[in-house]
Amino acid sequence: MRYSKIAGIGHHVPETIITNDYLSTIMDTNDAWITERTGIKERRWINPDKDTVANMAAKASRMALQRAGLTEKDVEFIVFATITSDYYFPGSGVLLQRELGLEGIGALDIKNACSGFIYALSIADQFIKTGMYKTILVVGAEIQSSALDVSDRGRNTAVIFGDGAGAVILRPSDQPGILSTHLHADGRFAEELYVKDPGGSRPNKERQPEQFLDTSGFKVHMNGNQVFKHAVVRFMEVINEALAANNMAKENIDLLVPHQANLRISQYIQEKLSLRDDQVYNNIMRYGNTTAASIPIAMSEAWAEGKIKENDVICLAAFGSGFTWASALIRW
């Protein structure tokens, strides 16, 4: 049977570090408040003069290709997860294709927010298994700093999000690599975490120039209590689903890489699974919530630090806007 395996992984984050202390100079907040509620100490925000979603993704992709011993020309298909495309349309998949000089290959854009990377990985896994492609570039990348309300009104969300990109190279294998993926959604809660505009369903009168002066619809709205309440349940469900599908127990997990939404959520999951600190990888304290980029950035760092080794069982899990949630179990 044909399987898919991660052959290389990479990441890129902007140079500009935004500390909690800096945020306290532009809004009514402080380091202790942010750290206690989120675990975040700093995050990276782009330099608008040089950073784009596509070029950050290209830097992460080249690192992944180098680690896989491949070049850009080996890539046959791109699956790109982001909710912050450089343009309203087209998606950033084709812009990444252009950055890498890969004229003619297909590029698929995935808009599943925090679960986007696992959704993208699952799609690429199916393409490899069916034999349609041999080398697929799977990317999660976000620029969220430009959409944040960095005022007292928006402080509850502005302190959370950061920018960055992560990428993996998926290749065929005769041994199982991606053991299984599990994807879920519940649109009843779509408005609990969303950005309303620019939305195609708005009537023309709401699209007049004077309406755009009210930018509240372009900012992140999040019902934090609802998100937290659902996240802790769905995270556990989808992790246990992945373990059950592979006849494994929590003791079989070598490393859990959760979506970096909130350190308290990760710690809750760790406690419920009785995992040691060295069995869970968190970097939210350095980067904040980078949405679709958070899992590949964390995996790339964990691999570079020697915390992901050959034959390890890695569990990925995510929950976010939609609501959507997903998991993947991987044999490295």
Residues 166 and 304: their CA atoms lie apart, in Å, by: 13
Nearest-5° angle of CA 171, CA 175, CA 181? 70
What CA–CA distances, in Å, run from 58 to 109, 132, 277, 322?
15, 23, 32, 27
Catalytic residue among 55, 114, 282, 283: 114
| The pairing of beta strand 313-320 with beta strand 255-258 | parallel
> Is 114 tagged catalytic?
yes
Catalytic residue among 112, 259, 282, 315: 259
Residues 46 and 56: their CA atoms lie apart, in Å, by: 10
Side-chain-side CA neighbours of 184 within 13 Å: the count stands at: 23
* Single-letter code of the amino acid located at 27: M
> Is 182 tagged catalytic?
no
Between the two ends of the chain, the Cα-to-Cα distance in Å is 18
> Is 289 tagged catalytic?
yes
| The pairing of beta strand 77-81 with beta strand 106-110 | parallel
Residues 314 and 241: their CA atoms lie apart, in Å, by: 14
In the structure, how many helices (H) and strands (E) does the chain have? 10, 13
| The pairing of beta strand 324-331 with beta strand 313-320 | antiparallel
Place of tokens 């995996």: 299
Q: What is the largest CA-CA distance in the chain?
A: 59
Angle between helices 294-304 and 53-68 (to 10 degrees): 30
How is residue 166 written in tokens?
């992560």
Catalytic residue among 55, 112, 282, 289: 289
Active-site residue set: 114, 259, 289
